[in-house]
Chain A
Amino acid sequence: MVNEYRSRMNQLIKNNLLGIKELSLEEIELIFETADNFKDVINRPIKKVPSLREVTIANIFFENSTRTQLSFELAEKRLSADVVNFSSSISSVKKGETLLDTVNNILSMKVDMIVIRHSSPGAPHFLAKHVNSKIVNAGDGTHEHPTQALLDTYSIRERLGSIEGKKVVIVGDILHSRVALSNIFALQKLGAEVMVCGPATLLPKYISALGVKVELDIRKALNWCDAANILRIQLERQRRSYFPSLREYSLYYGVNKEMINALDKEIIILHPGPINRGVEITSSVADADNALILDQVENGVAIRMAVLYLLASKLE
């Protein structure tokens, strides 16, 4: 039944990728299927296809990023798109220009698609309403980071065969994490059971309203799950103290080898990066065979190629 539907769908319904919340299961499956093909492409001696050679994409990053920006840029170049990069530290934003003016100026230079990261939740949604372009959200504040959730779930699916019925725990700073929210939506749409685990101060008050389990004990959480997605403590977003010290956080919530060995089953470990070794995860866990961390990075390029390819096909 699912297969039948999948083969019928050739195109995304949405014109932008703003969040996982707005995506349908069929659209996620289509992105995964397309990413399968691109993963094949990036593992060839010549890692490039000419599909987007007449498309120009601007990566506008109002917030620091290494991995995501690099990953998007590689994805764009492997599709043969022309790429321009823009980061707020070197731009006229500093001179008082509004977001809409900045973007309209970029679009006037005949740019077709926008990849945007912004510290304000909803910035990509605002743009999508006001400009006639294809917008990809590369992270908006503490709201969503859809391509990260897509590559996380894609990596789990790749390792475990499917997502349906699997149990996934997201560990750490849920309160400040856009990765957590997008992952919750993606995992639930794909049929997984989701749990969040962390110190009570770092869990949003009404998180259980999203239909996720809440667990404060990391050992119980690891025992329950098939896959654990371990998040970084986002100190840069924390305006006050949520726990006494990083050392104490690490003592209670840092995932170490001893915890993993104590489980009576094998679980897989994900981390969206950047890793703070010795804080939320120890090196022996991060570098083990069941850690998908580097697979996630590789899959990130394939997923972003798929998203850009599918959206570009809707350009007029």
Chain B
Amino acid sequence: MSFQMQKRLLLDNQLLQITIQRLCQHLIENHNDFSSVVILGLQPRGVFLANRIQKVIQELEGCYVEVGYLDTTFHRDDFRRRGIPKKASETRVPFLIEGKDVILVDDVLFTGRSVRAAMDAMISFGRPKKVELLVLIDRLHTRQLPIEANYVGKQVNTLASQYVEVGLKEQNGDDSIWLMNIEAE
């Protein structure tokens, strides 16, 4: 039996840039001056997106939005259920989120479990006034928890067996996002 790797391009370099611009416009529409807004990027790739969003908002609106990093490893509900444990990355939230509008940023929304863990991790830093979720790719019909994103870059129909590969420049990728498919022939 041979295995063939099929892949489909979801976003290329240019589309990714346009998508991030659009997401930022959407954020600006909903948050006038960003004075009480903070962005929390989920490790690992949500962090890079959070930094890009911060930069674009500064370019468009001239306001500086604080960015923190959240690592959800110690808050996951599948510890001891997934074999080898995930290694933790840095959590850096150098500000209080008490009473703030928090925008959680991640690359792909799949089962919703990372986002649940992220909300758990976030609560350790205070009680935000409001929490919103921004994702680049929203995988439809794969959710295991009642979690939906407020801002979506692109929605795609996927199977649980497929996976989304995100290659960002910050990780030596070429800023393209692919849907990968492993099929037996």
- Find chain A residues with CB under 8 A from B80 CB: 54, 312-313, 315
For residue B84, CB closer than 8 A to chain A, the reply is yes
- Cβ-defined contact, A10 with B85, below 8 A: yes
Give Cα distance in the complex from A10 to B121, angstroms: 21
For residue A46, CB closer than 8 A to chain B, the reply is yes
**Known pairs A10-B85, A11-B84; A46 contacts B124 (CB<8 A):** yes
Give Cα distance in the complex from A189 to B155, angstroms: 51
Of chain B, the residue at the smallest CB distance from A34 is B88
**Known pairs A10-B85, A45-B124, A313-B79; A40 contacts B91 (CB<8 A):** yes
Give Cα distance in the complex from A33 to B121, angstroms: 19
Whole-angstrom distance between the Cβ of A87 and the nearest chain B Cβ: 29
Q: Binary interface profile of A, 32-50, with partner B (CB < 8 Å = 1, else 0)?
A: 0110010011001110111
Q: Secondary structure at chain B's binding surface: helix, strand, loop or mixed?
A: loop
For residue A120, CB closer than 8 A to chain B, the reply is no
- Cβ-defined contact, B74 with A41, below 8 A: yes
Give Cα distance in the complex from A40 to B71, angstroms: 11
For window 39-88 of A, CB contacts with B under 8 Å fall at: 40-41, 44-46, 48-52, 54
For residue B28, CB closer than 8 A to chain A, the reply is no
Of chain B, the residue at the smallest CB distance from A80 is B74
Give Cα distance in the complex from A45 to B91, angstroms: 14
- Find chain A residues with CB under 8 A from B87 CB: 7, 10, 33
Give Cα distance in the complex from A41 to B88, angstroms: 12
For residue B126, CB closer than 8 A to chain A, the reply is yes
For B85, give its contact among A7, A11, A33 (CB under 8 Å). A11
**Most chain B Cβ neighbours within 10 Å, of A10, A41, A48, A49:** A49
Number of interface residues of B (CB under 8 A): 19
Of chain A, the residue at the smallest CB distance from B124 is A46
- Find chain B residues with CB under 8 A from A40 CB: 90-91
- Find chain A residues with CB under 8 A from B74 CB: 37, 41, 49-51, 309
Q: Binary interface profile of A, 1-42, with partner B (CB < 8 Å = 1, else 0)?
A: 000000100110000000000000000000001100100110
- Find chain B residues with CB under 8 A from A50 CB: 74-75, 120
- Find chain A residues with CB under 8 A from B75 CB: 49-51
Q: Secondary structure at chain A's binding surface: helix, strand, loop or mixed?
A: loop
- Find chain A residues with CB under 8 A from B85 CB: 10-11, 309-310, 313
Q: Binary interface profile of B, 69-97, with partner A (CB < 8 Å = 1, else 0)?
A: 00101110001100011111011000000
Give Cα distance in the complex from A52 to B73, angstroms: 12
Q: Binary interface profile of B, 148-160, with partner A (CB < 8 Å = 1, else 0)?
A: 0000000000000
Of chain B, the residue at the smallest CB distance from A44 is B124
Give Cα distance in the complex from A46 to B127, angstroms: 12
Q: Binary interface profile of B, 45-66, with partner A (CB < 8 Å = 1, else 0)?
A: 0000000000000000000000
For window 112-171 of B, CB contacts with A under 8 Å fall at: 120-121, 123-126
Of chain A, the residue at the smallest CB distance from B120 is A50
Of chain B, the residue at the smallest CB distance from A33 is B87
- Find chain B residues with CB under 8 A from A46 CB: 123-125
Whole-angstrom distance between the Cβ of A110 and the nearest chain B Cβ: 15
- Find chain A residues with CB under 8 A from B125 CB: 44-46
- Find chain A residues with CB under 8 A from B79 CB: 51-52, 312-313
- Find chain A residues with CB under 8 A from B71 CB: 37
23 residue pairs of the A-B complex, CB under 8 angstroms, read A10-B84, A10-B85, A10-B87, A11-B85, A33-B87, A34-B88, A37-B88, A37-B90, A41-B91, A44-B124, A44-B125, A45-B124, A45-B126, A46-B123, A49-B121, A49-B124, A50-B74, A50-B75, A51-B75, A51-B79, A54-B80, A312-B79, A313-B84
Q: Beyond A41-B74, A315-B80: 19 further Cβ-contacts under 8 Å?
A: A7-B87, A10-B84, A10-B85, A10-B87, A11-B85, A33-B87, A37-B71, A37-B73, A37-B88, A40-B91, A44-B125, A45-B124, A46-B123, A49-B75, A51-B79, A52-B79, A54-B80, A309-B74, A312-B79
